[in-house]
Amino acid sequence: MNTFIGSGQISDNDFTFDIKRVPFGRKLSYMSIKDGTYPDEEGTERSQLGLFRLPRKYAAVERLQSMFFPCVMSIRPVYGGISIPYECTATPSMLEVRTEYGYVQFCFDSKDILRIRGSRIGLRFFSKLNAHDGFVSRLDGTHQVTYDMVGEFLFVPVNGELKIQGKWNEEKSCNEEVMLDISCGSDEKFELALHFSVCDIERCPSYRPFDECVDEARKDYEDWLAVYPEVPEKYEYVRKVAVYCIWTCCVGPMGLLKNNIISYEKTDSVFAWHSAYHAMTMTKDADVSVRTMLSMFEYQDEFGQLPDMVDDRFINFLATKPPYHGVAVLYMLDRMGDRMTKEHCEALYTPLVKLHSWWTTLRDTDNDGVPQYNQGCEQSYDYSVMFSKGLPVESPDLIAYIILLEEALAKLAERIGRTGESEEWLNRSKNLLDKLITEFWNGEKFIARMSSSHEVIEFDEIDAYSPIMLGRRLPAHITDKIAEALSDPEKFYTPIGFRSVKRKYFNGKPIPGIITGATQIKVVRGLCETGKKELVKDILTRFCDMTLEKLPMYRFLEFDPPEGFNGSILYYKEFGVCSAFSSVIFIILASLLKEISE
Amino acid sequence: MTITEILNKRPVILGSRERYDLRCVPFSTRGSFMCIVEDQEDRNLYLSISRSPAFMMERKNLVRIVPVVDNKEISFEYSAEPGKMTIKTYRGTAEICFADKKQIRIRGEGISLRFYFKMQMFENCSPKENGDFEIAYEILGKLLFVPLKGAVWCNAKWNCETVQAEDFIIDLIPPVETMRFETAVHEYYSNRMRDNEYVPFDDCVRMAEEDFKKFCKRFGEVPEKYSDMALLAAFTIWTHQIGPEGRLKNSLVYMSRTSSVRAFGYQQCYQAMASGGDIREAWKMLLSMFDYQNEAGQIPFYVSDISMSWLAACAPLHGAALDYVFNMCDSDELKKEDYAGLYGKMSGYAGWLLDKRDRNRSGIPQYYRADECGWIDAKAFKNGRPVQSADLLALTVLLTEYCGRLAIMAGNETEAGKWMNESKRLLAILENEFWDGRKFVSKDAQTGEIVETGVTASLLPVILGKRLREDIVNAIVNRLTSEDECRKDISPISCLLPIGLCNAGKKELAFIIAGRFCDMVCEAVENKADKGKIENKKTKQDFVNGLTSEMAAAFLITVSYVLGEE
């Protein structure tokens, strides 16, 4: 058995995680590293580290060669020119790669510099290039690799030797690959600073001590962790991982992003409604919570729409996401009470009024006072069959969100002294609630309907029941029916959580439920409020138990799909593993579990 | 003749039966992101949106347009003038114009017009209650079809499994009584509602024509022989001027509306040179990239409304451009503040270039990658090392010289002296170290080895004119008259050759080279096939090169030498 050599700096008691699932990164930085299988210069896939950087790569008619390269660069340890097996251990502030012959460590020195140092072994970086990408040795000891879609990576060998080599494509008249090798100097050590930028940059005249950077990152993470609520003891490790995933997804200003904001995951953009979820978990600090809630509103257009996604390069208004913000604000007001000052409320009021205005004008084209979704992505469950009869669709979950948004606006208006407006919001909210109950409840469940024709759309998805988020605002006969359906294993109940779509069968075999954290969030609080605490406690415990093995993910599957079943990609691929969104949802659910268990 | 005079004689610039058609340049208007193109291969017309997130990412053939009668596609011809485009069929016509840069107006008589939409994942079409339809694309933005007369019929359907609208059509249908339809198409990024009022079609056409005529005042006179091409070149530049919008803080000239959909820094210099008839416009173009200048003095490689790249240096054509502009234009209108303003920015850029493109302190500026000099053989960068090149030296001789001249004009004598000395130093290096007795050369910046960079790079230093030693100028003249290779080059940067030759006193050769260049451009872009009708099936092709705004400007710059003017 091989013994792998480490630095001894990471002890068994330290909080560590596996970078096969948890990307190694740092708050403010756009870079991250994962351990996976990536292509090498021979064209084969092998176990390597992958260097990633935001943002998502948008679909294009012509697929570029590098778009099939899964990461920006693949990285692996080498000894004597030969690739060697390795294992990784990561703490929030340092990644250590151990091999039989020596080790390499990574840390972040401020947001744009990755610091790498090695003992007795070297590293090989490999990447594919497109026609307008390239590399150049700048003849001052630094080497630059640039990608049109990504930016510039500046390799600065602080100690040791760096060799860089391309692969020229005669036909395209460009280098289509680049390979960089860093190897130890005579002291059997190397040190490399890897800068990321969008424009031509300088190396630092000198670099801070590696260990200083590690300490700084550790402290930053620990300060961030302190803001988060507690969870039941057995999930404490998952909590630390979840908070870490959120911490690394908080990216700093660059390009179109003007302030710190939390992205969906390390390789994807910032979504319209995530900041609302994050704000809910930060109520220990009112400033932080409100600032986080407002972070997405910087990209709100003049009509009040929040873009579906933003990143440093694009603002995407193709769709949007549901106005969950009312739910979040009510929660924040409840938790923080007077700690939410008049100034906080004022800061939130106007952008939320604009948001409300957009949903009730540009998303109410038949002007009947009931808002609509224009397509699946706006609903958040892209595949929703509520759109099977056409567009636009007036949906019960959207109505519930707007009812709560109006209530939140009423409370904010009251706090800032606009009593008249507050009453108006409250009335609107009540009227819309009446409409929901009288026009959208068919005795068994909520229905959706086409805008304009009002043709009824019966659908068997969780959103026919998610207005339970209104809790006791709904009459008991409705909440009872909902609880019944949600507790029924033939409908929405599974041992590990409520499924998104009513139970179905394929060739007599049950199709596994897709259980998402976002679904649980929609229904659990309302169920608690209407007397179903035990059910919720049970569900949340088993849902959170899933994270003990898998860590937070976008969805869990009950079991494997039956043979021959050809469902959507959600049945076959794990999405959002250790994403900031899945992590914040976990924290919300686990902390709720702790509350109701006491 | 002036461009306006040419236009008055021949208002139709492009057409299926004309010398030039929509395969070489799309129909559009200044500032608009929408345009109508004809595809090289299938010969169909497409509505396109000029947005591209990265190189080689375009959806040029976005929405196919075809006239329809009784639900059947019919064959057509088209013609385009600056103010409108006409689609002619045996049953009726459709006309398209730009009401403003965000709105296309379409009217038709006797026929319907059909639009075929191909969607990608997440893209959709949703109806508004009032008969309008909104089509939403990823990255490209949104379109709102608004029926003004007649109806917009749409069969779009959302597919829950593929999470997108299926491919669909929109028909613009005339009412039975009048058989005349009119539709507005708005382009926008997030939200829009229909306007309260719509300016009459003919007024829109007239306004667009007037804008084009006003725009053309900046171009000089052209000889009769090249008048068609000159008109096309002017139209190309006019339709490629985009912004301000999004990340565009001002108006820049995009290289192409369909393939390289972005504005390159160095190409704004060509536009300044082409605008020789109006010093203010030329000056504005010279200043334009500096609005994006960062603290270090760098200006971007390219900019568009949705992207900006700093990953290559902007080629330093500003000195050459100023040299030309001061020769061509009457600069009386300019004041000390104008000179000071440009000096501050240009000197910042020159300082950046001489520092950050010479990190080994050789005293000789370098190219880091092929993108920094579009006219150089990319193979020179195969080894990933910077390249010192005679053409770059020549351009920086002029850049620094003009920093000096601007400093003088701005009243800053000390700084001026510094720049003039730098210019002389660079010229000495060019002549002593980069001339091999027969031609100019380029070198690997680390090893000093000669690297092959192609014919154009080795001829370009002639832009220095009389600043160069006579024997050097004569050797270049020799190459241009005898070497075959030198005759074939059609890259836009070659427009600097006749300028340099003229400045060096070699007027006759300048005229010959200019004429040759202009002929080559005309031929490349021309529709050479039988002027047959376009039918709805694949016809035999002749390939037509697209006309970029870069080439258009180079043409307009060069064509003045054919007139015999300086």
What are chain B's domains? 3-207 (2.70.98), 218-526+544-562 (1.50.10.10)
Q: Give chain B's mean pLDDT.
A: 93
Strands B77-80 and B84-88: antiparallel
Please name every residue paired with A87 in a beta bridge, in sequence order, or none if there are none: A98
Residue A202 and residue A269 share a domain: no
Crossing angle of helices A325-336 and A396-415, rounded to 10°: 40
A176, A245: one domain: no
Judge whether B459 and B497 are in contact, CB under 8 Å. yes
Q: Is residue A25 part of a domain?
A: no
A176 lies in a domain? yes
Put the strands of the sheet holding B180-188 in their side by side order.
B14-15, B77-80, B84-88, B93-100, B103-109, B180-188, B141-149, B133-137, B124-127
C-alpha to C-alpha distance for B419 and B322, rounded to whole angstroms: 15
Provide the total of helices (H) and of strands (E) in chain B, helices listed first.
Answer: 15, 26
Distance from CA of A66 to the nearest CA of B (A): 12
Residue A239, helix vs strand vs coil: helix
A419 contact partners, CB below 8 Å, separation of at least 6:
A413
pLDDT for position A61: 39
Closest CA to A380 of A463, A316, A458, A459: A463
Q: CA-CA-CA-CA torsion for A202, A207, A210, A211, nearest 10 degrees?
A: -130
In a domain, A17, yes or no: no
User: Which chain B residues touch A303 with a CB distance below 8 Å?
Assistant: 190-191
Q: Can you list the alpha helix ranges (DSSP code H) found in A324-395?
A: 325-336, 342-361, 376-379
Contact A136 B128 (CB under 8 A): no
DSSP state, residue B224: G
In a shared domain, residues A239 and A167: no
pLDDT of residue A57: 62
Looking at the fold, whether A486 and A517 belong to one and the same domain comes out as yes
**Could you tell me the two tokens for A413?**
């208006």
* Omega before B244 within 30 of 0, i.e. cis: yes
Following DSSP, what letter does each residue of B384-418 receive, concatenated?
S--EEEHHHHHHHHHHHHHHHHHHHHTT-HHHHHH
Check residue A572 and report its DSSP letter. T
**A153: which 2 tokens?**
């990576």
| Residues A486 and A593 placed together within one structural domain of the fold | yes
Residue B237 corresponds to which tokens in the numbers above? 């530049």
Peptide bond between residue A55 and the one before it cis (omega within 30 degrees of 0): yes
Dihedral in degrees, nearest 10, Cα atoms B354, B356, B357, B361: 70
Mind listing the pLDDT tens digit for each residue in B269-318?
A: 999 999 988 999 999 999 999 999 999 999 999 999 999 999 999 999 99
- Residues A371 and A398: their CA atoms lie apart, in Å, by 7
Q: What are the CA-CA distances from residue A164 to residues A88, A177, A178, B36, B311 (Å)?
A: 25, 11, 7, 46, 19
Rounded Cα gap, residues A456 and A549, in angstroms: 42
Percentage of chain B beyond pLDDT 70 is 97
3 state DSSP class of A359: helix
Shared domain for A201 and A265, answered yes or no, is: no
Residue B564 predicted with pLDDT over 70: no
Whole-angstrom Cα distance, residue A392 to residue A405?
21
User: In degrees rounded to 5, what are phi and psi of residue B124?
Assistant: -150, 175
Q: How far, in whole angstroms, is CA A363 from its chain's centroid? A: 26
| CB B163, CB B150: distance < 8 Å | no
| pLDDT beyond 50 at B538 | no
Kindly state whether residues A486 and A544 are assigned to the same domain. Answer: yes
Provide CB contacts within 8 A for A88, sequence distance 6+.
Answer: A18, A19, A20, A35, A49, A95, A96, A97, A98
**Cβ separation A377–B369 shorter than 8 A:** no
Q: Is residue A285 part of a domain?
A: yes
The reported pLDDT for the residue numbered B58 is 83
DSSP B499-545: HHHHHTT-HHHHHHHHHHHHHHHHHHHS--S--PPB-SSPPPP----
Distance from CA of A54 to the nearest CA of B (A): 15
Compute the count of residue pairs across chains A and B with CB atoms less than 8 Å apart: 173
Q: Which two tokens stand for residue A182?
A: 């860093």
Domain termination residue (choose one: A197, A219, A241): A219
**Residue from A505, A468, A503 nearest A489 by CA:** A503
Look at residue A63 in the predicted model and tell me its pLDDT. Answer: 43
Give yes or no: residues A243 and A210 share one domain. Answer: no
Q: Is A366 in CB contact (< 8 Å) with chain B?
A: yes
Q: Is the dihedral of CA B22, B14, B535, B113 positive or negative?
A: positive
- Quickly list DSSP for B139-203: TTEEEEEEEEESEEEE---EETTTTEEPSEEEEEE--TTT-EEEEEEEEESS-----S----HHH
pLDDT band of residue B321 (cuts 50, 70, 90) is: very high
**Mean pLDDT (whole number) for B463-486:** 91
Domain membership of residue A24 (yes or no) is: no
- The amino acid at residue B426 is L
pLDDT on residue B404: 97
Query: Is residue B151 pLDDT above 70, yes or no?
Result: yes
The CATH number given to whatever domain includes residue A484 is 1.50.10.10
Asked which of A329-333, A409-413, B125-129, B145-149 is least confident by mean pLDDT, the reply is: B125-129
Phi, psi values for residue B276, rounded to 5°: -60, -15
User: In angstroms, what CA-CA distances link B164 with A57, A203, A499, B170, B284?
Assistant: 18, 46, 24, 17, 44
Please give, rounded to a whole number of angstroms, the shortest distance from the CA of A287 to a CA of chain B.
30
Which residue type is seen at A256? L
**pLDDT tens-place string over residues A44-101:** 888 899 888 876 666 543 344 445 678 899 999 999 999 999 999 999 999 999 999 9
Q: Provide the β-strand partners of residue B541.
A: none
Question: Which segment, A262-271, B142-151, B555-564, is predicted with the most confidence on average?
Answer: B142-151
Residues in chain B: 566
User: Do the chains contact at B311 and A151, CB–CB below 8 Å?
Assistant: yes
Task: With respect to residue A4, please indicate whether it lies within any of the assigned structural domains.
Answer: no
| Residue B371 near chain A (CB below 8 Å) | yes
Could you tell me if A273 and A322 are in contact, meaning their C-beta atoms sit under 8 angstroms apart? yes
Q: Where are the alpha helices (DSSP H) in A123-268?
A: 210-225, 236-249
DSSP A230: P
* Confidence band, pLDDT 50/70/90 cuts, at residue B536: very low
Write out pLDDT tens, residues A540-591: 999 999 999 999 999 999 899 998 898 888 888 899 999 999 999 999 999 9
Four-residue CA torsion sign, A288, A291, A294, A295: negative
**pLDDT band for position B563 (50/70/90)?**
low
Q: Residue A196's beta-bridge partner residues?
A: A153
Total domain count, chain A: 2
What pLDDT score does B529 carry?
Answer: 64
Res B539: pLDDT: 47
pLDDT digits (tens, 9 = 90+) for B48-62: 999 988 887 788 999
Judge contact between A324 and A273, C-beta under 8 A. yes
Q: Is the pLDDT of residue B471 over 70?
A: yes
Kindly list the residues from chain A whose CB atom is less than 8 angstroms away from the CB atom of residue B312.
146
Confidence at B542, pLDDT banded by 50, 70, 90: low
One domain for residues A255 and A106: no
Chain-chain contact of A392 with B382 (C-beta, under 8 angstroms): no
Q: State which of A170, A191, A219 marks the end of a domain.
A: A219
Which residues from A are below 8 Å from B121, CB to CB?
A: 59
Encoded tokens for B87: 């689609």
Same domain, A319 and A368: yes
pLDDT at B537: 43
Residue A568 is predicted with a pLDDT of 82
Angle between helices A286-294 and A342-361 (to 10 degrees): 20
- A252 and A209 inside one domain: no
Whether the CB-CB separation of A241 and A589 falls below 8 Å is answered with: no
Tell whether A112 is covered by a domain.
yes
Interface subset of A 241-260, CB within 8 angstroms of B: 255
Specify burial of residue B34 (Cβ count, 10 A radius: 0-12, 13-18, 19+): buried
- Are A319 and A422 members of one domain? yes
Tell me whether residue A19 is in a domain.
Answer: no
**What are the tens digits of pLDDT across the range A91-110?**
999 999 999 999 999 999 98
Judging contacts by C-beta atoms under 8 Å, the chain B residues touching residue A301 are 189-191
Beta bridge pairs of residue B37: B46
Judge if ipTM > 0.90.
Answer: yes
Q: How far is CA B442 from CA B353, B366, B449, in A?
A: 18, 10, 8
Residue of B nearest to A303 (CA): B191
Predicted pLDDT at A537: 96
Chain B residues within 8 A of A146 when measuring between CB atoms: 311-312, 369
Bond before A23 cis per omega within 30 degrees: no
Q: Determine the residue type at A412.
A: L
Residues of chain A with pLDDT under 70: 1-2, 55-68
Which residues form the domain of A334? 227-597
pLDDT given at position B562 = 81
Residue A65 in tokens: 């060669």
Beta-strand relationship, A505-506 and A509-510: antiparallel
- Considering A219, A247, A272, which residue would you say is the last residue of a domain? A219
Q: Is B379's Cβ below 8 Å from some Cβ in A?
A: yes
- For residue A130, what pLDDT is reported? 87
From chain B residues 192-221, the ones with a CB under 8 A of any chain A CB are 193
Contact A147, A141 (CB under 8 A): no
Is the pLDDT at B533 greater than 50? The verdict is: no
**What mean pLDDT do residues B331-356 have?**
95
pLDDT at B530 over 60: no
Q: For CA atoms A456, A458, A463, A467, give the dihedral sign.
A: positive
